[in-house]
Chains A and B, each alone.
Chain A
Amino acid sequence: MAHTVERAADRGKEGTVRVTADSAPKRRRKPPTPYLLIAPALILLAVVLLWPIVQMVWYSLTSFTTRNLLPNQPGPEWNNFAHYQRLLTDPEFWTILRNTVVVCVLMVGITMVLGTLIGILLHKLPKWFSTIVSVGMMLAWATPALSASLVFRWLFLPERGLVNVTLDRLPDWLVGSGWLEYNWFLQPGSLFTILITVIVWQSFPFVAVSVLAGLKSIPNELYEAAKMDGASAWKSFWNVTFPMLRPLFALLLVLQIIWDLRVFTQLYILANSFQNKDVYLLSYYIYQQGFSASPANYGMGSAIAVVMTLMILAVTAYYLRIMIRQGETR
């Protein structure tokens, strides 16, 4: 719809331009050139965000450390691909990369499935009830990452946290014993479990609400026709809902992958230091190399950042394709 309006407006504009040019050449109301209008935003974006991407690649090929920032020190030396060579032969890096991918896949997978199911649930519930549930979900969605991480840390705290206390009170045959003192934040498996819980808790509402909006746009006749053909709920989802919402699902998937690959704040609070390399994810590793290691190694941090950016750009390429197909760039 919006595109039709836009195109109509464009046509209108071209028309006027021609008319003005023909009939009133003397009128001097020259519109400000569009380049002048985008210049301030473009300059800011180029200096603050675009140029650093180029520099990131450059720094990753040099021996840039904190020392090189001090006055009267020589600049960083050209290092070729030494950082990348070290990364590729470092089992620690491969573990972190693997963990990042696995944790991201789990976060995205659980968020998408849960969000879709809840979107369908909201669609089936009567309006008043679905509104109440939606408002509840908004609370989870709106909670700042930092507050969310802190409250989950508090929930899973050894000795006093509600989860540990509750698990301890449940019968042993059901959940096992020794939960009260159990520390979730030491081992990668349990820490990542909580990390995934926090992320899913914060991101399923967006998926659910988007799917709900999508479901509302599917004409009911399609479902009635499927019902007449004797389709089960499962079949009508795969043969009606999914094909209709395919572009939406693709977009949600891409956005979730990009957002979950970069998770930092939540891990920063849950891990609470840079001591335990077992619980690093890529973004955490970048930060540790750049600002927490001594001496801070900007070159190595940049090399890891390049790896992460390449992963994200690969996903972004797909996102761009969707956007271009939908006409968002016209």
Chain B
Amino acid sequence: MSATSTAAPNRGGYRRSPLRRLRSLPLYLAGAAVFLFSVFPVYWMVATAFKPVGEIFTRNQTFFPQAPTLEHFDRVLNGQLIPGVNFWQFLGNSLVVTLGAVGMGAFLSLLAAMAVARFRFKLRTAFIILLLIIQMVPMEAMIISIFINFRQLSDATGAQLLGNLSGLLIVYTAVSLPITILMLRGFVVAVPKELEEAAAIDGASGWTIFWRILMPLVAPGLVAASIFAFITAWNEFIVALTFLGRSTDNYTLPLTLSYYFGRFGTEWGPIMAASTLLTIPVMIFFLFVQRRMVSGLTMGAVKG
């Protein structure tokens, strides 16, 4: 590597190697500390979920569960977290609203991304800037007016937009649109126009070109954007809290957990078991898109 080691490989190697290793020891220790800081709360959540009640409610907290048990998971999965409703219903609610929003969002954002990537039109830049702004205005500020809108719309038309999943579905779809459109735009742009033109010359129809040429190349982007939208909707809390109110039958998982915590704040076993179950799908999906997550959020700031 350096000039000294090529000139005197033996001496340099013997003398420097242990010293170097010793000098990088603080780096390793710092790395280990970062790892522990990151992982410990997650570990503690899972460990608590597996501890019997006696081990949780003691001052002699142990690092490992001494007598691991599935009782909390059993209570969460087979019992009634909220009187009269079981976990599977909440899981179903969360899945319906999340997958529904992801599906609708994927369709709408693919159309919009095509327009932005493939056409030059007058309001194109305005549309992109609008997406960037909307992405930044927080739901916490808009929640009152959105709630009033949905309430008045329900009163006027008889459609039930509050107290069930339909309102959530609409809001979640809209919320993830800006980022999914912007992410997909990059993927559509990357497909060379020449491919489509060649197919057109061969006599392929617009639909054939779309399905056979564009879609396979854009599919990875669509998956990444969909996972992004999935995580957003799966974790969403404040809209669910506002829209669902007392209709416990329709609660999504985060809302169920917060309700259960509010009522039975001392039952840390089931609370941690349910938190673990809420976290698992996100963890799995996150590992797939983790790289794209960084580039999706910082866009062009990191190049190379």
Contact = CB atoms under 8 A, between A and B. Distances in A.
Interface of A: 1-3, 5-6, 9-10, 12-14, 16, 29, 31, 33-35, 37-38, 40-42, 44-45, 48-53, 55-56, 59, 64, 69, 71, 118, 121-122, 124-125, 129-130, 132-133, 136-148, 150-155, 157, 159-160, 162, 165, 180, 201, 205-206, 209-210, 213-214, 216-217, 247-248, 251-252, 255, 258, 261-262, 264-265, 268-269, 272, 283, 286-287, 290-291, 298, 301-302, 305-306, 308-309, 312-313, 315-316, 319-320, 322-324, 326-330
Interface in B99-118: 108-109, 111-112, 114-118
Interface string B259-286: 0011001001001100110110011001
Contact of B282 (A144, A268, A305): A144
B272 A133 contact: no
Given A216-B304, A217-B304, A268-B237, A316 B133 contact: yes
Judged by DSSP, the binding face of B is helix
B41 A140 contact: yes
B258 A268 contact: yes
Q: Which of B34, B48, B125, B287 lies at the interface centre, i.e. has the most chain A CB atoms within 10 A of its CB?
A: B34
Given A136-B38, A140-B41, A124 B27 contact: yes
Interface in B118-164: 118-121, 123-125, 127-134, 136-149, 151-152, 155
A329 B59 contact: no
Nearest to A125: B31
Given A162-B61, A264-B238, 4 more contacts: A162-B44, A213-B294, A251-B299, A320-B129
Given A34-B119, A287-B238, A291-B242, A312 B138 contact: yes
B138 A146 contact: no
Interface size class of B (residues with CB under 8 A): 35 or more
A201 B38 contact: yes
Q: Which of A56, A302, A324 lies at the interface centre, i.e. has the most chain B CB atoms within 10 A of its CB?
A: A56
A266 to B, nearest CB: 10
A170 B212 CA distance: 66
Contacts of A55: 145, 148-149
A124 B29 CA distance: 13
Closest 3 CB pairs of A and B: A217-B304, A37-B115, A52-B145
Nearest to A217: B304
A1 to B, nearest CB: 7
Interface in B190-206: 190, 192-194, 197, 200, 206
B238 A265 contact: yes
B177 interface: yes
A147 B279 contact: yes
Given A213-B294, A312-B137, A320-B133, A130 B279 contact: no
B279 A41 contact: no
